[in-house]
Amino acid sequence: MELIQIAHIENGYKAKFGIPRQSGLVGVESRIVMEKGYAMPEAFRGIEDYDYLWLIWGFSKNVEKPFSATVKPPRLGGKIRMGVFATRSPYRPNPIGLSSVKLERVEQDEKHGTVLVVSGADLLDGTPIYDIKPYLAYADAHEGVRSGFTDDHEFKKLEVVFPTDLLNQVPTSERDAVLEILQQDPRPGYDKGIDREFKIAYGSVDITFVIEKEQAKVIAVRRI
């Protein structure tokens, strides 16, 4: 079976490091730009009546690795192995991702035709999209369910310490996104507890930060 790319995503995530580990964690807006032949308005008739969409997409920037039956989830500190099919690891037999995103609005672009503006995506800028489906609350939402090892490992946001002189170097339109990304603690699990500097790239800036206790402290900002 051959997958056909029907769209790609455009946003400020310029590097894999710093992208939220799941969709819906950071409310950054992204644009879904359709490929030629898929941007006609009639293909989206009725889509405005849905609040959320499912995106089926490809891990296009993954380094090819041989199949491994077990992986080390970041939520477990990158030290405990779990079965690959019991995780959402990006390294899978088929490099396919599934994300639930909020549909913010539908735009008609003079150059690209129909464009979907969504929030909460966990996709790298330029990621290919293979399909778009509506999220159905009656079928897709399940109350009182178990979530495996994530139930026992509470996710805690970091406090962000961002000196005013450095924050002023970040464009106003990108500040909320940068702050939310830092709150999510983008470090790999195996780097937790290691005293060193980290960098994330978002939009037009590189952010250098360190972690002290439960704080992410920004120490440098560089325009890309």
For residue 21, what pLDDT is reported? 86
**In the predicted model, is pLDDT for residue 193 greater than 70?**
no
Could you tell me which of 130, 137, 184 has the C-alpha nearest to residue 156? 184
Looking at the chain, the domain(s) classified CATH 2.40.30.70 span 7-60+95-140
Look at residue 153 and give its three-state secondary structure: coil
Q: For the domain with range 7-60+95-140, which CATH number is right: 3.40.50.150, 2.40.30.70, 3.30.870.10, 2.60.40.1930?
A: 2.40.30.70
pLDDT-derived band at 155, boundaries 50, 70, 90: confident
- Give the contacts of 152 (CB within 8 A, at least 6 positions apart): none
**In the predicted model, is pLDDT for residue 152 greater than 80?**
no
Element (H, E) at 12: none
How much is the pTM?
Answer: 0.89
**In the predicted model, is pLDDT for residue 157 greater than 80?**
yes
**In the predicted model, is pLDDT for residue 209 greater than 70?**
yes
Lowest mean pLDDT, pick from 48-52, 92-96, 174-178, 193-197: 193-197
> In this structure, which topology does domain 152-223 adopt according to CATH?
YaeB-like fold (3.30.2310)
For residue 166, what pLDDT is reported? 97
Element (H, E) at 134: strand 128-134
**In the predicted model, is pLDDT for residue 194 greater than 90?**
no
For residue 170, what pLDDT is reported? 97
Report strand pairing: 29-34 vs 113-119: antiparallel
Instruction: State mean pLDDT over 207-213.
Output: 93
Looking at the chain, the domain(s) classified CATH 3.30.2310.20 span 152-223
